[in-house]
Structure 1
Amino acid sequence: MSRANQSCDSGEDLQHYQHYVYAVVYSMILAPGLLGNVLALWVFRAYVKETKKAVVFMMNLAVADLMQVLSLPLRIYYYLNNTWPFGKLLCMFCFYLKYVNMYASIYFLVCVSIRRCELIMWPLRYTSSRKKNDLYICVAGWLLVCLGCLPFPWLRNNIYEHNPQSSATPAHLRTEAPGLLSSPSPTSKLVCFAELPMQPISTSTAWALLIAAELMGFFLPLVLVLACSYLTAASLRRLTEGAVHDRGEQRRALRMVLSCASVFLVCFVPYHVTMPLDFLAKANALGSCSLRKLVLRCHPVTLCLASLNSGLDPLMYYFTTDEFRRRLSRTEITESLALNRRLSSCFTGEV
C-alpha cells in the first residue's frame, strides 16, 4: 500500500485526542454497564425456563456486554497513563475481545429480533424442541464470531516500544512497524489498542477482509433487523393466520424489535461506516491528508458508540420486557431477600 501520505501523521495531538475520548466514554460506560448486565443475568436466569420470549438470546447478549465491560478498566488505565504494563498477551486478548463482544452483540441482537418476530407471526411453530435448538444457535454464534474475529489481532499482532522523545523513530511506525524496537530507552512506552502497528498486507487481501467484515458483520444483520421490524409492525395492521391476536403482546414485541433496531443503528452503523476508511487511513492508503485526519478523529467516536451498546442493552430489557421489570420490582426483591433469609436460617439452625 502507498506510503505517500506518511507526512500526514498528526502525531502526539491525535494520540492525545483519541486517548481522551476513549478514557472519558469508557469511564461513563463502566458502572452502568456493569450493574445493568449483572442485573440482567440475574433476572433472565430466573425466567429462562418459564418463557419462550428470546430469553436465551438476551442472556448471551448480556454475557457479551458484560465481557466487554469487564475489560474496560484495563483500557481506561492505558488511555489515562499512555502505557501498557500488563504484557503483550493480555493486550492482544483485550484487543481481540473488543471485536468478539461487538460482533457477538450484533449476532444476538439479530437473534432476539428474529425470535420475537417469529413468536408474533407464527407462534405455533415454536415448540420445546425448537427452544432447545436456541442453545445450539448460541453456541454456533459464539464459534462463528470467535473465528470470524481472528483477522483483527492477526493484522495487529505486535506490541512495540515507542520513545516519544526519540527523533529516530519514524513517523509512520505507529501504524506500520512490524515488531519490537530493540534497546528500549527509559522513556519508552509499551503501546496497545489504537497504537498497535498494522501488518503489511496486499491491497487485494485488505479489500477482501474489509468486504467480508462489512457484508457478514454489518449489512446482513442490518437487513435482518430491519426486516423483522417491518414484519412485526405490519402484524399490528393485519391479522395473519395463526398469529398472536393479543394486541398488547404484539405491541411489546414491536417495542423489543424496534429497540434492537435502534441500538443497532445508533451503535453499529456509524462504526461500520468509518471502519474501512480508518483501515485505509492507518495503512496510509488515503491520498488526502485532510480526509485522513478527519477519519482518524471520527473513528474513535464511532468506536465509543459501538461500546455504548453494553449500557443501552439493559435499558432495552427494562423498557421492553415485562419479566425484567417484574423481577426488579420492590415486591419481587423483598420476597427474594426474605426467602434468602429463611434459607440461611435453616442452614445455620436459627429459629
Structure 2
Amino acid sequence: MPVDGNDSTECDVDVGFVNHLYAVTYAVILIPGLITNVLALWVFYAYVKETKRAVIFMINLAVADLLQVLSLPLRIFYYLSHSWPFGQFLCMFCFYLKYVNMYASIFFLVCISVRRFLYLIYPFRFTDRRRVLDVYVSFAGWIVVCLSCLPFPLLRIGSQNVTVPNNLCFVDLPLMDIGIANSIITVTLAELFGFVTPLLIVVYCSWRTIMSLREPDSLCHDLGEKKKALKMILTCAVVFLICFAPYHISFPLDFLAKARKISSCSQRKAILTFHPVALCLASLNCCLDPVIYYFTTDEFKRRLSKQEIQDSTEMQIYCNEGFIKRECALEVLGTNRSIL
C-alpha cells in the first residue's frame, strides 16, 4: 500500500531524538574509548615479543577502535550544532571510518577467537613464523575491509544530484537510488559476509572450546589454560552479539522501511527509531573491545602495574648483558606461561 506525503512525515523518526542520541552516545564513549585503547596499545607494544597468542590481532583491533574514537569529536560537534563546516571530504572520511571500524572489529574479533582456539587445540604448532602469518592476515584483512566499506560513502557521494545544503553530513545525506534488485544484493552480501559467517565462526570456536574442557587427553593438559581460552572466546562472542547483532538485524529492516516496502506506519516508525539505537550499540565496541584483553586475563592486569614493568625492564637488561642466559631464559619462560 503506498504511503502519502503526510503519512510519510508522521511515520518518520524524530530527528531531534536521533541527534541527541548520537551526541550523548559519542560523548559517553569518547574518553573511555580513547584511554582504554591507547593504554592497550602501550601495553601491547611493550610486551608484543613475549606472546604468540592473538596479540597481533588485538593490536589491530585497538587501532581500529582508536581510529573511530578520534573521529567522535567531529561527530559530536555536528549532532549538537546541526552544522558541518569542515568540508565534504572530511565528512565522507569520518562517515567511512565508522563502517571500517565496525567491520574491522568484526574481522579481528573472529581472528582472536580462531587464534585462541587453535592455540588451545594445537599448542605446539604456533611459533614465531606463525606470528608473522598473523601480520599477513591482518594486512589482508585491512585491505578487504577498506575496499568492502567503500560503497557506504560512495552511495552518499553519488546522490549529490539531489539538492542538499552543504552543511549536512552523515545520516542526513541522501542515499543514491541503485534500484531494488541491486539494493537487495548489496544488503544480502553485507549480512552474509559481514555478520552471519563471522558469527558462525565465533560460535563454532566457542562450542569446540567448551567441548575441549571435557577431553582429558587433549594436547593441552592445563585446565586453567582451557578456561582462560574459553573466557576470552566467549567474551569475543558477547561483545560481537551486543555491538553488532542489533545493527545487522535492523539493517535490512531499515532498508525496507526507507524504501517504503513496509506499509504499516507504526512498524516503519519503530524500525527507523531502532536503527539509530543499533548504530549506537555498534559504536560501543570501542569501549567493550578492551574488555577482551583486560578482564579475560590476569596477566594483562599484572603487566599494567608499575612494578611489573620495572621488573621486566631490569630482567631484559640482565639478559642482554649475558649473565646466566639459561637461567634468565627459563625465568622469562616461566613468567610468561599465562599469556594473552
TM range (shorter): 0.7 to 0.9
Q: Which ranges of structure 1 fall in alignment gaps of 5 or more residues?
A: 159-175, 182-187, 340-351
Describe how 1:119-130 pairs up with structure 2 within 5 A.
Answer: 119-130=119-130
Residue matched to 1:179? 162
Q: Distance in 1 between matches of 2:211 and 2:314?
A: 45
Question: Secondary structure of the equivalent of 1:268?
Answer: helix
1:12/1:202 Cα in 2 relative to 1: closer, same or farther (>3 Å)?
A: closer
Deviation at 1:288, TM superposition (A): 2.1
Q: Distance in 2 between matches of 1:3 and 1:136?
A: 51
1:337/1:79 Cα in 2 relative to 1: closer, same or farther (>3 Å)?
A: farther
Deviation at 1:12, TM superposition (A): 9.0
Q: Distance in 2 between matches of 1:157 and 1:303?
A: 21
Residue matched to 1:228? 205
Q: Give the root-mean-square deviation of aligned CA atoms.
A: 2.3
Residue matched to 1:301? 277
| Matched-pair contact (CA < 8 Å) for 1:236–1:250 | yes
Residue matched to 2:189? 212
Deviations 1:281-315 (A, max 9, x none): 23333322221111111111111110101101112
Question: Secondary structure of the equivalent of 2:278?
Answer: helix
1:5/1:41 Cα in 2 relative to 1: closer, same or farther (>3 Å)?
A: farther
Residue matched to 1:60? 60
- Structure 2 residue 285 is matched with structure 1 residue 320: no
- Structure 2 residue 293 is matched with structure 1 residue 310: no
Deviation at 1:235, TM superposition (A): 1.0
Deviation at 1:58, TM superposition (A): 0.3
Describe how 1:143-292 pairs up with structure 2 within 5 A.
Answer: 143-157=143-157, 178-181=161-164, 190-241=167-218, 243-292=219-268
Q: Which ranges of structure 2 fall in alignment gaps of 5 or more residues?
A: 316-340
Deviations 1:112-148 (A, max 9, x none): 0000000111112223222111000000000000011
- Structure 2 residue 86 is matched with structure 1 residue 86: yes
Q: Distance in 2 between matches of 1:222 and 1:5?
A: 39
The amino acid that maps onto 1:198 is: L
The amino acid that maps onto 1:229 is: S
Residue matched to 1:137? 137
Q: Distance in 2 between matches of 1:334 and 1:290?
A: 61
The amino acid that maps onto 1:18 is: V
Deviations 1:45-94 (A, max 9, x none): 12211111100000000000111111110001101111111111111111
1:155/1:4 Cα in 2 relative to 1: closer, same or farther (>3 Å)?
A: farther
- Structure 2 residue 23 is matched with structure 1 residue 23: yes
Name which of structure 1's ranges 29-38 and 282-291 shifts more when overlaid on structure 2: 282-291
Q: Distance in 1 between matches of 2:12 and 2:166?
A: 13
1:208/1:263 Cα in 2 relative to 1: closer, same or farther (>3 Å)?
A: same
For normalisation by structure 2, the TM-score amounts to: 0.87
Q: Percent identity?
A: 55
1:12/1:291 Cα in 2 relative to 1: closer, same or farther (>3 Å)?
A: closer
Q: Distance in 2 between matches of 1:196 and 1:59?
A: 33
